[in-house]
Structure 1
Amino acid sequence: MGDWVFWGGAAGLTLAVAGLMAAALARGRAAPAAAQDLGVYRDQLREVERDLARGLIGEDEAARLRTEIGRRVLAADAALRAETARAEPGPAPALVAGLMAALVLGVGGGVYLWRGAPGQGDLPMAFRLAESDRMRAARPTQAEAEAQAAAALPPAPAPTDPRHAELLERLRQVMAGRPDDLQGQELLARNEALVGNFAAAARAQAMVVRLKGAAATADDLAMQAELMISAAGGLVSPEAEAVLSAALEKDRTNGTARYLSGLMFLQVGRPDLAFRFWAPLWESSAPDAPWVAALRAQLPDVAWLAGQHRYQMPEPGGRAMPGPDAAAMAAAEDMTPEARQQMIRGMVDGLLERLATQGGTAAEWARAIRALGVLGETDRARAILAEAEGRFAGREADLGLIAAAAAEAGLK
């Protein structure tokens, strides 16, 4: 039934276009020049009669004009008969339209038979849901995904600081003999992630969750899942999905778990469920949340795939980033350009000092990079960029935010 509807609709549209073409061809046949002259002369005769009725010309003048125009009418009529006799009949508009319709149907049908899938049936919802279930069940395990990622990706680089590499190796040795040291496992997870050893970081974070037991928070579990996904090359394995479910059981509002759960559903062909996770997350997130950049890039396509074709992304909610207060802005208006530049430089230096001593979000690092670019201090901006990329290694959303700032600052 579906094939008949498709082919019937295609044929109907082609015939409709052919009809429009035939009408256009019929209207487009130009009348002979003599026929156009005859129309002009008839208008002139009517104009003579109107002028006579209004008293603009006399009867003698009207008679003279009628005679002159009549002579021209006779000459134009003779020319029209001669042109009609010489003209060769061309193809009828209907014939031309029919030939073009046949050409369109032939070429279009041939291309469809060659490149299309005429025997492919519709994909009903039940089939697509079953296919999603199959994809979900066929995912590799965490160990298999980590092995595949390790084979496809280059090994994690060694720490550039020899002292850091030595301390990390010493920490590994200590924790091998003290696996139940909670603080040591937390420290090991952070440092392994910092150098890109995500599989080792995920194992250490799993130990953190086990040691904490019931006291483990949703953030602890979300961090474990994020490290597992990074170790698996971005794939959400069944084991990572179970950790995400545990995180959401503890806190349904956990942003990292909500974003990664949506990613999992997108990977198994369920953009509709991904949209249910991501749209509310976007609308409730602070502008500097680590997943905002990724959602900004992906959510429009996910909404379209989910059938939400009219979805319009609002600006993410939340607090504004720290900056000068109203008094400082008012004072800046009265400053000289040099003083204003000095004030801006002082604010940037304060932000950089806080990032160096206390750390900060990816949005704050991005803000520092953009500010240094505006000030023209590209060398310092490049140094901050390199440090930020190291701090947020493996966190694609954060790295996307930082890369965007680097591009705005002219570094990429």
Structure 2
Amino acid sequence: MVFWIVSGALALVVSVIIGLTLMRGRVGDKPPAAYDLQVYRDQLKEVDRDLARGVIGTEDAERMRAEISRRVLAADAQLQDGGETGGQPGRGGLIVAVALGAVLAAGSVWVYTEIGAPGYRDLPLKTRIAESDAARANRLSQSEAESRVPPAPMNPNATEEFLTLMAQLRETVKNRPDDLRGLTLLARNEAGLGDYIAAYNAQSRIIEVKGDEASASDYAYLAELMISATGGYVSSEAESALRSALERDPRNPPARYYLGLYLMQVDRPDAAFRTWDALLRESRPDAPWVAPIRERIEEVAWRAGETEYTLPPLEGTAPGPTAEEMAAAQDMSPEERQQMIRGMVTGLSERLATEGGTAEEWARLIRALGVLGDTDQARAIWSEAQTLFSETPEDMAIVQEAAEAAGVAQ
């Protein structure tokens, strides 16, 4: 309330000053026409001095005297007719003063409601950091956060046959709680059904079974499932999972994305902006976290004080050689084929090494290496893919087919 009182008082004072000036119609102790007369008389004297020094001729002097004299007569007539006000319209000045005051007050209020925060108390940096620390310390637990959102609906596309298989899978995992393959299938399929609580429970068990071998991706996926179960809220347990992921791999993209979301929720837009901006600039345009970051980062930048921030361009790049491109390569000369494919393979290989990818992309890379004749590298990629997709038979079949086509399958 103090802000509005001070702002209103300042607007009133400024309006009164401007209004009095307009109503008075002059500055100083003389009407405006009197000042004009004084200026014209000084100009007549200047003409006489210039004529005496020979700066101007007689004809020019007479012409200038005549023009200045005409102005003197007009100013004198205005002075006689206007009296003390100098002919300035007093009533018109009053109307303009009132209108200007109203516009000034109303415009100030409108501008503040558009770009300000009416009713919001002052928040110095020290206070904001203290409140952020309190928000971190008082995060809701996973169960408390889940209780505040309605349960997620089951996937309507789930068939009766699939639900039957899921029931069998749950029973199998119950009887074999240390079976990583079963747990992995259970976590993925429960998430696909929309039962994120069951999914993250299965993922938690995966991490328990793996122990010290649990990877950053394992923890990042656990955090993702927890956050999905709470409708986007990052609970204290989800934050702990994110920290564990980043301890193992500080550059893990999903963990960095959700960390930025967490930082926004604890009112640290400055740290959230730095996290998301770096991730956005390092990621491929088709990465799943790019679109949600681009939707919000401008607002985050504004809240972080980065008022001149502009989104980096969304550069579309191909994920790697497609089947059509591989077929076209067969008709090229060996040199042309090598040059085209190697450029694609390099980008795809780097991305899979840093960000991971689908089974189709791993298969594409193995095929491309086979075309290049780089069988040792293709065999190494196939070996890595076997470890990566060992618990997903469908993906393994895709990669194995590519390895057989490249001649590196054992």
TM-score, structure 1 as length reference: 0.57
Question: How far 1:138 sits from its partner (Å)?
Answer: 3.1
CA distance in 2: counterparts of 1:358 and 1:326, whole angstroms: 18
CA distance in 2: counterparts of 1:186 and 1:158, whole angstroms: 22
Aligned residue number for residue 129 of structure 1: 129
CA distance in 2: counterparts of 1:159 and 1:326, whole angstroms: 35
Aligned residue number for residue 319 of structure 2: 321
Aligned residue number for residue 201 of structure 2: 203
Question: How far 1:149 sits from its partner (Å)?
Answer: 2.3
Unaligned runs of 5+ in 1: 28-52, 55-75, 332-356, 362-412
Question: How far 1:89 sits from its partner (Å)?
Answer: 8.1
> Aligned partner of 2:248: which letter?
K
Compared CA separation, residues 234 and 25, structure 1 to 2 (3 A): farther
Q: Which moved more, 1:156-165 or 1:219-228?
A: 156-165
Question: How far 1:124 sits from its partner (Å)?
Answer: 1.1
Aligned residue number for residue 7 of structure 1: 6
Aligned residue number for residue 237 of structure 2: 239
Residues 311-357 of structure 1 deviation map (CA, whole Å, 9 limit, x = unaligned): 2232367963336769969x9xxxxxxxxxxxxxxxxxxxxxxxxx9
Select the residue among 218, 221, 228 that pairs with 1:220: 218
Question: How far 1:139 sits from its partner (Å)?
Answer: 2.6
Compared CA separation, residues 244 and 84, structure 1 to 2 (3 A): closer
Compared CA separation, residues 283 and 4, structure 1 to 2 (3 A): closer
TM-score, structure 2 as length reference: 0.57
Q: Is the 8 A contact 1:285 1:316 kept in 2?
A: no
Aligned residue number for residue 261 of structure 1: 259
Number of residue pairs the alignment of both structures matches:
305
Residues 128-149 of structure 1 deviation map (CA, whole Å, 9 limit, x = unaligned): 1222223333332101222322
Aligned residue number for residue 380 of structure 1: none
Question: Does residue 180 of the first structure (1) align with residue 182 of the second (2)?
Answer: no
Q: Is the 8 A contact 1:278 1:295 kept in 2?
A: yes
CA distance in 1: counterparts of 2:286 and 2:292, whole angstroms: 12
Q: Is the 8 A contact 1:256 1:291 kept in 2?
A: yes
Residues 253-278 of structure 1 deviation map (CA, whole Å, 9 limit, x = unaligned): 00000110110010111111111211
Q: Is the 8 A contact 2:220 2:242 kept in 1?
A: yes
Unaligned runs of 5+ in 2: 27-58, 61-73, 332-357, 363-410
Aligned residue number for residue 91 of structure 1: 90
Compared CA separation, residues 21 and 222, structure 1 to 2 (3 A): farther
Question: How far 1:19 sits from its partner (Å)?
Answer: 3.4
Q: Is the 8 A contact 1:141 1:239 kept in 2?
A: yes
Compared CA separation, residues 146 and 200, structure 1 to 2 (3 A): same
Residues 287-320 of structure 1 deviation map (CA, whole Å, 9 limit, x = unaligned): 1211000111111111110111122232367963
Q: Is the 8 A contact 1:221 1:246 kept in 2?
A: yes
Question: How far 1:179 sits from its partner (Å)?
Answer: 0.9
Compared CA separation, residues 13 and 317, structure 1 to 2 (3 A): farther
Q: Which moved more, 1:198-207 or 1:18-27?
A: 18-27
Q: Secondary structure at the match of 2:181?
A: helix
> Aligned partner of 2:185: which letter?
L
Q: Is the 8 A contact 2:82 2:88 kept in 1?
A: no
Q: Secondary structure at the match of 2:90?
A: coil
Aligned residue number for residue 19 of structure 1: 18
| RMSD (Å) for aligned C-alpha atoms | 5.4
Q: Is the 8 A contact 1:284 1:318 kept in 2?
A: no
Question: Does residue 147 of the first structure (1) align with residue 147 of the second (2)?
Answer: yes
CA distance in 2: counterparts of 1:236 and 1:142, whole angstroms: 8
Over the matched positions of the two proteins, sequence identity in percent amounts to 40
CA distance in 2: counterparts of 1:144 and 1:283, whole angstroms: 35
Q: Secondary structure at the match of 2:272?
A: helix
Question: How far 1:170 sits from its partner (Å)?
Answer: 0.6
CA distance in 2: counterparts of 1:10 and 1:310, whole angstroms: 33
> Aligned partner of 2:295: which letter?
A
Q: Is the 8 A contact 2:257 2:276 kept in 1?
A: yes
> Aligned partner of 2:154: which letter?
A
Question: How far 1:166 sits from its partner (Å)?
Answer: 0.9
Q: How does 1:40-59 map to 2 (within 5 A)?
A: none
CA distance in 1: counterparts of 2:361 and 2:327, whole angstroms: 25
Question: How far 1:15 sits from its partner (Å)?
Answer: 2.1
> Aligned partner of 2:14: which letter?
L
Q: How does 1:372-411 map to 2 (within 5 A)?
A: none
Q: Is the 8 A contact 2:254 2:289 kept in 1?
A: yes
Question: How far 1:213 sits from its partner (Å)?
Answer: 1.0
Compared CA separation, residues 90 and 136, structure 1 to 2 (3 A): same
CA distance in 1: counterparts of 2:165 and 2:108, whole angstroms: 69
CA distance in 2: counterparts of 1:237 and 1:249, whole angstroms: 18
> Aligned partner of 2:176: which letter?
R
CA distance in 2: counterparts of 1:92 and 1:327, whole angstroms: 87
CA distance in 2: counterparts of 1:84 and 1:17, whole angstroms: 24
Q: Secondary structure at the match of 1:321?
A: coil
Question: How far 1:161 sits from its partner (Å)?
Answer: 2.0
Q: Is the 8 A contact 2:220 2:245 kept in 1?
A: yes
> Aligned partner of 1:15: which letter?
V
Question: How far 1:122 sits from its partner (Å)?
Answer: 2.5
> Aligned partner of 2:287: which letter?
A
Q: How does 1:154-165 map to 2 (within 5 A)?
A: 155-157=153-155, 159-165=157-163
